[in-house]
Homo-oligomer: A and B are copies of this chain.
Amino acid sequence: MTGVGHNSNATDDRLRLLMERIDRLEEEKKGISDDIRDVYAEAKGVGYDTKIMRAVRSRAKMGENGREEYDALVAAYEAALGVA
C-alpha cells in the first residue's frame, strides 16, 4: 500500500492529485451530460419526441442485423403474450 497509513507527505500528495484529476474529469463529464440534456430539450422544443430519438440512437448501436433480431424478438415475445 502506498501512502495511506505511512504518513508520507509525498504519497499523500499523490493521492490528493489523483483525486483532484478525477474531480476535474467528473466535472467535465457532468458539463457534457448537461449539454446533452440541453440538446434533447431543444429537440423537444421544436416538436421532436425525445423518447424516439433515444430509441433511434440505441438502435443505431445495434447495427442492421441487431435491429432485425431485436424487432423479430419483440414481435415473437408480443405474439407469445397475445399482444395485438
Contacts and interface: CB of A to CB of B under 8 A. Distances in A.
A62 interface: no
B25 A35 contact: yes
Count the copies.
2
A15 interface: yes
Contacts of A39: 18, 21-22, 25
Interface residues of A, number: 30
B42 A33 contact: no
Interface in A8-33: 14-15, 18-19, 21-23, 25-26, 28-29, 32-33
Interface of A: 1-4, 14-15, 18-19, 21-23, 25-26, 28-29, 32-33, 35-36, 39-40, 42-43, 46-49, 53, 56-57
